[in-house]
């Protein structure tokens, strides 16, 4: 440690000091690893406390909050899936049911895979079963502890109302909530089970013959246990909620509607899924069977689609219009920005990649819109797209002999505006409002530079030899682009498209600055709707429920995207 | 992949021999057109911010005589001295904390061995998938609750605006990418010299990856300059309100005074844009590294 000593002397004194200071169990090779482990955890601790508290815990918290109702109240009365029903009506029962089914299916597949490996590779998953599931139950009990303590802590401010509201009194109530018997029992039960599970796993590991230790089934069984528990809890919640809703509906004399709706919509989605699956499996069959399968799949697609078209609008009409309009705006935004943005930036990147002068200058300029603060640039676009007749775009239109437009204040769909006022295209065919189109243009403007930079990095990773070889084979520029550049760039394209889609569902800042009251909410994407439910309406539970729905949508998109990518993306 | 992405000048393909002249003209036309589209709004901002009111609302392209006083007026009307100071304070506290916490965690992930490493790293990266919207309600409640038990209030104060952003999956990931490239032999020789992990991190790893730390600082700076939703939720008074919220309030206040709006927008953009022009290599490489792998 001392800088003045020579290295070897330093090591010797250091070792000596350690030998004297450290107890026996703390010495040797095993203990060095233990010490490194503890040090690593202490390095991780600060970051994980912050990320856990403000990044992961919010998920559990939002799930809890979304089951409460009430205006401007942090802890309202328990309302089950009531907030979700308000947002998407009966669709939530279907979503929750299939989510639960998916979780249990996932757990089943994990376990089945473990036993399949046992048969094929003579591994030994069985001893891991008990510790894995004990740990999973421990995790579930810990979740139970969190959900017991959380409401107690949240109720403290209202308990203090009317009393002397000091910090000491508040802290006293926190301590009191912590020492509640039910909280303590759940906490120590969870700790005991977790210790038992981990201890059991270590025991199993030490008893297994060394040759079989290479395959550890602890993690898969823990995750299977957790997903089973979560799936069962969700299924139970859904079942009780459906029953409650059903008895409510019976009193109103419309009992059958609920079940028929649930069954029809589920059947519709199942048919679509089945159609996709049959279509995919048709590829491996001889041509006649494949033809028959594809026809069958097309028929299923049509029947399923028809069922959904018949049933979904009724559910949508019964849900929250703001939310559905918000989702619609988000979908329009994705469809309108992502392809254009990716296409433009691919062209720019490929051109920039040629041997040209001023390459880095171009790159710096393209990237500028992405770097400049969003609120500032959005403020500029607010003026460019303003509805004043003398605003930049409108004066250009006047110069060309056209009438000025309302731009950001125009709620009418663009296809409706093109078709003229004498045909009514309906809400979906009318397309995104002109206001939303203006925001899309802003979105494209900011993100083309970002995409270009990522594409350039992807192009730089393609080995030059491939171009040389293909040139010898007689490939011209276009053939090279089509058969070398594009396939090797597909991971980048995949990443950027996923980023664009998820980014749109998260988008907030620029839309919040660019939205005008006159656009009548046609520009409000999902995030904006959630923000308004929280900030303007102070409906905490409802905003949380919408946020959870948004998360489910993002997860579903990511999963579908991964599924497609595993077939279409070429990873070198 | 990360390494080749970081090679500073873009590697180039040899151009085809024939038809070069015509191709060049087309390529340059497209590229220049793109560059013009990227910077025209900025030039327009500069131009309008120098006009007087009648020129700005009259739809002119250039001012007759530049009104430099617009900037002073916008600065005073928008209380920018307060908001700039707030943003700078918020940025310094956030970035300071982020360097310490992210470097420690990134070092553990890059250079140390411990059980559960893969699981914790996956858990960390999965937070990137969460939409910000899902954290609004819970974090608002958490922050106001923490303010009741901690010695300083959190709402309307620096903790709510800085502490949640002191550790991010993004920052840890960025630093880990750089830390991993440092050869393990250095650690062996540092051990022989008697250095522990912490000392090795501070005296060897951090100085070697100053480029990565620089990138982290830049992104922290841009991030707190851009923050809008969260500051709206946790500030009710201007005391700690950051610049973007200040600009938004000014835009509504200035109403028809377009030239002042533009001057205000330009003032808020200027620090980031200047910073960008000086450090653009770090910026673009940082984006390319994390973007490609993330």
pLDDT of residue A444: 93
> Which of A231, A262, A279 is the C-terminal boundary of a domain?
A231
| DSSP state letter for B255 | T
Of residues A192 and B52, the one with the higher pLDDT is A192
Domain membership of residue A491 (yes or no) is: no
Residues of B in contact with A561 (CB under 8 A): none
Task: Provide the pLDDT confidence category of residue A76 given band limits of 50, 70 and 90.
Answer: confident
Written as one string, the DSSP assignment of A95-142 is HHHHHHHHHHHHHHHHHHHHHHHHHHH----HHHHHHHHHHHHHHHHH
3 state DSSP class of A433: strand
Are B164 and B139 within 8 A, CB to CB? yes
**Mutation for A interface: B133, B189, B200, B266, most A CBs within 10 A:** B133
Q: For A71-98, what is the mean pLDDT?
A: 84
pLDDT at residue B18 greater than cutoff 70: no
pLDDT of residue A19: 56
Task: Provide the pLDDT confidence category of residue A18 given band limits of 50, 70 and 90.
Answer: low
| DSSP state letter for A74 | S
pLDDT of residue A410: 80
Residues of A in contact with B30 (CB under 8 A): 347-348, 351
CA A191 to chain centre: 30
Task: Provide the pLDDT confidence category of residue A215 given band limits of 50, 70 and 90.
Answer: low
Domain membership of residue B246 (yes or no) is: yes
Of A375, A448, A467, the CB nearest to B228: A375
Domain membership of residue A368 (yes or no) is: yes
Tally of domains within chain B: 1
Domain membership of residue A331 (yes or no) is: yes
What are the phi and psi torsion angles at A78 (to 5°)? -65, 135
Distances (CA, A) of A129 to A103, A110, A135, B2: 18, 12, 10, 40
Are A527 and A508 within 8 A, CB to CB? yes
Residues 6+ apart with CB under 8 A from A47: B101, B102, B104, B105, B167, B172
Cα dihedral B159, B162, B167, B169 in deg (nearest 10) = 130
Q: For tokens 């093109």, what's the residue? A: A418
pLDDT at residue B89 greater than cutoff 90: yes
**Mutation for A interface: B13, B90, B188, most A CBs within 10 A:** B13
pLDDT of residue B4: 39
Two tokens, residue A315: 């559910």
Q: For tokens 């007689």, what's the residue? A: A474
ipTM, two decimals, is: 0.86
* Distance (Å, whole) CA A187 – CA A141: 8
Two tokens, residue B42: 């900025």
pLDDT at residue A346 greater than cutoff 90: yes
| DSSP state letter for B10 | P
Chain B, nearest residue to A377 by Cα: B265
Of residues A348 and A164, the one with the higher pLDDT is A348
Give the dihedral sign, CA A7/A13/A16/A21. negative
* Distance (Å, whole) CA A250 – CA A259: 11
Residues 6+ apart with CB under 8 A from A331: none
Residue A496, CB half-sphere, CA atoms under 13 Å: how many? 29
Min Cα–Cα distance to chain A from B58, Å: 6
Same domain, A221 and A330: no
Reported as a single tens digit per residue, the pLDDT across B250-284 is 988 887 788 899 999 999 999 989 988 888 877 77
Domain membership of residue B285 (yes or no) is: yes
Give the dihedral sign, CA A42/A46/A49/A52. negative
pLDDT at residue A256 greater than cutoff 80: no
Same domain, A436 and A548: yes
Nearest Cα residue to B166 out of A358, A52, A514, A110: A52
In chain A, residues 307-346 whose CB comes closer than 8 Å to chain B: 344
Mark yes or no for CB contact A509/B228 under 8 Å.
yes
Of B4, B39, B233, the CB nearest to A460: B4
* Distance (Å, whole) CA A512 – CA B231: 13
Distances (CA, A) of A210 to A60, A126, A216, B8: 40, 16, 12, 48
Same domain, A219 and A352: no
Mark yes or no for CB contact B133/A57 under 8 Å.
no
Domain ranges, residue B289? 74-293
Mark yes or no for CB contact B197/A62 under 8 Å.
no
Other C-beta atoms lying within 10 Å of the C-beta of residue B168: 26
Mark yes or no for CB contact B114/A364 under 8 Å.
no
Q: For B156-167, what is the mean pLDDT?
A: 91
Domain membership of residue A430 (yes or no) is: yes
Written as one string, the DSSP assignment of B79-115 is THHHHHHHHHHHHHHHHHHHHHHHHHHHHHHHH---T
Same domain, A391 and A539: yes
Same domain, A349 and A226: no
- This prediction has a pTM of 0.87
| Average pLDDT value over all residues in chain A | 84
Residues of A in contact with B142 (CB under 8 A): 53-54, 57-58, 61
Reported as a single tens digit per residue, the pLDDT across A366-398 is 989 988 898 899 999 988 888 887 778 888 888
Two tokens, residue A104: 């249990």
Are A330 and A505 within 8 A, CB to CB? yes
Two tokens, residue A404: 């000025």
Lowest mean pLDDT among A97-111, A238-252, B76-90: A238-252
Task: Provide the pLDDT confidence category of residue A48 given band limits of 50, 70 and 90.
Answer: very high
Nearest Cα residue to A51 out of B121, B118, B150: B121
CA-based Rg of chain A, rounded to a whole angstrom? Answer: 30
pLDDT of residue A273: 85
Task: Provide the pLDDT confidence category of residue A141 given band limits of 50, 70 and 90.
Answer: very high
Please count the residue pairs, one from chain A and one from chain B, whose beta carbons lie less than 8 angstroms apart.
Answer: 332
Domain membership of residue B247 (yes or no) is: yes
Domain membership of residue A431 (yes or no) is: yes
- Judged by a CB distance cut-off of 8 A, whether residue A451 touches chain B is no
Domain membership of residue A489 (yes or no) is: no
The stretches of A507-539 forming alpha helices (DSSP H) are: 509-514, 526-535
pLDDT of residue A10: 63
Reported as a single tens digit per residue, the pLDDT across A507-553 is 888 899 998 887 788 888 999 999 999 998 888 999 999 999 999 99
Two tokens, residue B185: 């032999």
Of A44, A59, A65, the CB nearest to B108: A44
Domain membership of residue B50 (yes or no) is: no
Chain B, nearest residue to A495 by Cα: B292
- Judged by a CB distance cut-off of 8 A, whether residue A147 touches chain B is no
- Judged by a CB distance cut-off of 8 A, whether residue A547 touches chain B is yes
pLDDT of residue A120: 80
Domain membership of residue B3 (yes or no) is: no
Domain ranges, residue A384? 320-456+497-568
B115: left (phi over 0), alpha (psi -120 to 50) or beta: beta
Residues of A in contact with B225 (CB under 8 A): 373
> Which of A211, A231, A251 is the C-terminal boundary of a domain?
A231
Domain membership of residue B273 (yes or no) is: yes
Same domain, A227 and A334: no
Tally of domains within chain A: 2
Nearest Cα residue to A196 out of A111, A139, A125: A139
Task: Provide the pLDDT confidence category of residue B6 given band limits of 50, 70 and 90.
Answer: very low
pLDDT of residue B2: 38
We report the CATH number of the domain holding residue B82 as 1.10.3720.10
pLDDT of residue A43: 93
Task: Provide the pLDDT confidence category of residue A5 given band limits of 50, 70 and 90.
Answer: very low
Of residues A187 and A155, the one with the higher pLDDT is A187
> Which of A208, A231, A254 is the C-terminal boundary of a domain?
A231
Min Cα–Cα distance to chain B from A432, Å: 23
Residues of B in contact with A504 (CB under 8 A): none
* Distance (Å, whole) CA A103 – CA B16: 55
Lowest mean pLDDT among A21-25, B196-200, B204-208: A21-25
Q: For tokens 């906490």, what's the residue? A: A187
Written as one string, the DSSP assignment of B113-180 is --TTHHHHHHHHHHGGGS-THHHHHHHHHHHHHHHHHSSS--TTSHHHHHGGGSS-HHHHHHHHHHHH
Residues of A in contact with B38 (CB under 8 A): 365-366, 368-369, 445, 448-449
Domain membership of residue A479 (yes or no) is: no
We report the CATH number of the domain holding residue A433 as 1.10.3720.10
Domain membership of residue A285 (yes or no) is: no
Provide, rounded to the nearest whole percent, the portion of chain B with pLDDT above 90: 30
CA-based Rg of chain B, rounded to a whole angstrom? Answer: 24
Reported as a single tens digit per residue, the pLDDT across A442-465 is 999 999 988 998 898 888 888 888
Provide, rounded to the nearest whole percent, the portion of chain A with pLDDT above 70: 92
Lowest mean pLDDT among A14-23, A431-440, A556-565: A14-23
Domain membership of residue B239 (yes or no) is: yes
β-bridge partners, A68: A78
Mark yes or no for CB contact A43/B197 under 8 Å.
yes
* Distance (Å, whole) CA B108 – CA A47: 11
pLDDT of residue A121: 76
Of A14, A348, A535, the CB nearest to B232: A535
Provide, rounded to the nearest whole percent, the portion of chain A with pLDDT above 90: 27
CA A386 to chain centre: 34
Mark yes or no for CB contact B292/A495 under 8 Å.
yes
Lowest mean pLDDT among A73-82, A130-139, A443-452, B117-126: A73-82
């Amino acid at each position: 440690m001392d800088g003045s000593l020579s290295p070897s002397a330093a090591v010797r004194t250091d070792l000596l000091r350690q030998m004297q200071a450290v107890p026996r169990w703390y010495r040797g090779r095993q203990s060095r690893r233990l010490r490194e482990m503890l040090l690593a955890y202490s390095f991780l601790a600060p970051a994980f406390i912050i990320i856990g508290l403000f990044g992961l815990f919010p998920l559990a918290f939002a799930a809890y909050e979304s089951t409460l109702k009430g205006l401007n109240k942090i802890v309202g009365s328990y309302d089950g899936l009531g907030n979700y029903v308000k947002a998407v009506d009966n669709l939530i029962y279907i979503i929750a049911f299939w989510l639960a089914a998916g979780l249990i299916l996932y757990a089943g597949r994990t376990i089945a895979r473990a036993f399949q490996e046992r048969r094929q590779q003579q591994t030994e998953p069985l001893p891991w079963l008990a510790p894995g599931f004990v740990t999973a139950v421990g995790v579930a009990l810990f979740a139970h502890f969190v959900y017991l303590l959380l409401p107690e802590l949240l109720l403290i401010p209202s308990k203090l109302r009317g009393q002397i509201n000091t910090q000491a009194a508040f802290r006293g109530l926190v301590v009191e909530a912590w020492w509640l018997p039910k909280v303590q029992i759940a906490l120590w039960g969870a700790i005991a089970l977790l210790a038992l599970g981990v201890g059991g796993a270590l025991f199993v590991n030490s008893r297994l013959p060394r040759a079989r230790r290479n395959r550890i089934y602890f993690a898969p069984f823990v995750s299977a246990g957790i997903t089973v528990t979560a799936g069962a809890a969700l299924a139970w919640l859904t079942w009780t909620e459906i029953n409650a809703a059903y008895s409510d509906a019976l009193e109103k004399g419309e009992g059958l509607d609920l079940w028929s709706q649930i069954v029809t919509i589920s059947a519709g989605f199942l048919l679509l899924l089945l159609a996709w699956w049959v279509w995919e499996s048709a590829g491996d069959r001889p041509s006649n069977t494949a033809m028959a399968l594809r026809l069958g799949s097309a028929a299923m697609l049509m029947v399923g689609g028809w069922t959904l078209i018949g049933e979904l609008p009724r559910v949508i009409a019964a849900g929250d219009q703001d939310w559905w309009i918000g989702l619609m705006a988000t979908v329009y935004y994705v469809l309108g920005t992502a392809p254009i943005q990716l296409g433009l930036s691919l062209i720019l990147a490929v051109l920039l990649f040629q041997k040209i002068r001023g390459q880095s200058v171009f790159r710096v300029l393209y990237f500028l819109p992405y770097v400049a603060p969003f609120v500032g640039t959005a403020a500029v676009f607010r003026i460019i797209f303003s509805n004043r007749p003398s605003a930049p775009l409108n004066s250009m239109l006047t110069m060309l002999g056209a009438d000025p437009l309302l731009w950001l204040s125009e709620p009418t769909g663009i296809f409706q505006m093109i078709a003229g006022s004498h045909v009514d295209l309906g809400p979906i065919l009318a397309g995104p409002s002109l206001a939303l189109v203006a925001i899309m243009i802003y979105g494209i403007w900011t993100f083309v530079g970002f995409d270009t930079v990522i594409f350039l990095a992807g192009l730089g990773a393609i080995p030059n030899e491939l171009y040389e070889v293909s040139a010898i084979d007689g490939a011209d520029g276009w053939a090279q682009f089509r058969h070398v550049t594009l396939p090797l760039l597909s991971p980048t394209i995949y990443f950027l498209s996923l980023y664009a889609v998820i980014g749109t569902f998260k988008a907030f800042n620029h839309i919040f600055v660019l939205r005008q009251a006159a656009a009548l909410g046609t520009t409000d994407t999902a995030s904006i709707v959630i923000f308004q439910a929280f900030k303007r309406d102070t409906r905490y539970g409802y905003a949380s429920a919408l946020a959870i729905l948004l998360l489910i949508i993002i997860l579903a998109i990511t999963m579908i995207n991964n599924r497609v990518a595993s077939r279409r993306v070429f990873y070198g | 992949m990360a390494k080749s992405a970081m090679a500073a000048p873009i590697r180039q393909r040899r151009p085809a021999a024939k038809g070069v002249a015509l191709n060049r003209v087309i390529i340059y036309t497209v590229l220049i057109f793109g560059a013009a589209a990227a910077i025209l709004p900025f030039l327009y901002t500069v131009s309008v911010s120098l006009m007087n009111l009648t020129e700005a609302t009259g739809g002119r392209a250039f001012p007759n005589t530049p009104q430099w006083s617009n900037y002073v007026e916008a600065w005073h009307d928008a209380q920018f001295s307060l908001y700039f100071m707030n943003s700078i304070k918020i940025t310094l506290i956030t970035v300071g904390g982020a360097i310490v916490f992210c470097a420690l965690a990134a070092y553990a992930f890059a250079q140390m061995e411990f059980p559960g490493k893969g699981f914790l790293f996956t858990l960390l990266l999965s937070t990137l998938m969460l939409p910000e919207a899902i954290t609004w309600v819970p974090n608002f409640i958490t922050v106001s609750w923490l303010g009741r038990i901690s010695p300083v209030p959190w709402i309307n104060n620096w903790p709510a605006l800085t502490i949640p952003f002191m550790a991010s999956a993004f920052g840890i990931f960025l630093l880990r990418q750089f830390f991993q490239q440092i050869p393990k032999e250095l650690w062996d020789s540092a051990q022989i010299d008697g250095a522990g992990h912490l000392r090795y991190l501070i005296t060897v790893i951090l100085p070697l990856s100053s480029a990565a730390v620089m990138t982290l600082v830049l992104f922290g700076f841009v991030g707190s300059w851009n923050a809008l939703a969260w500051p709206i939720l946790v500030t009710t008074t201007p005391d700690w309100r950051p610049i973007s919220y200040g600009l938004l309030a000014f835009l509504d206040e200035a109403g028809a005074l377009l030239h002042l709006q533009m001057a205000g927008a330009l003032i808020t953009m200027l620090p980031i844009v200047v910073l960008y022009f000086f450090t653009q290599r770090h910026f673009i490489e940082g984006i390319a590294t994390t973007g490609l792998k993330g």
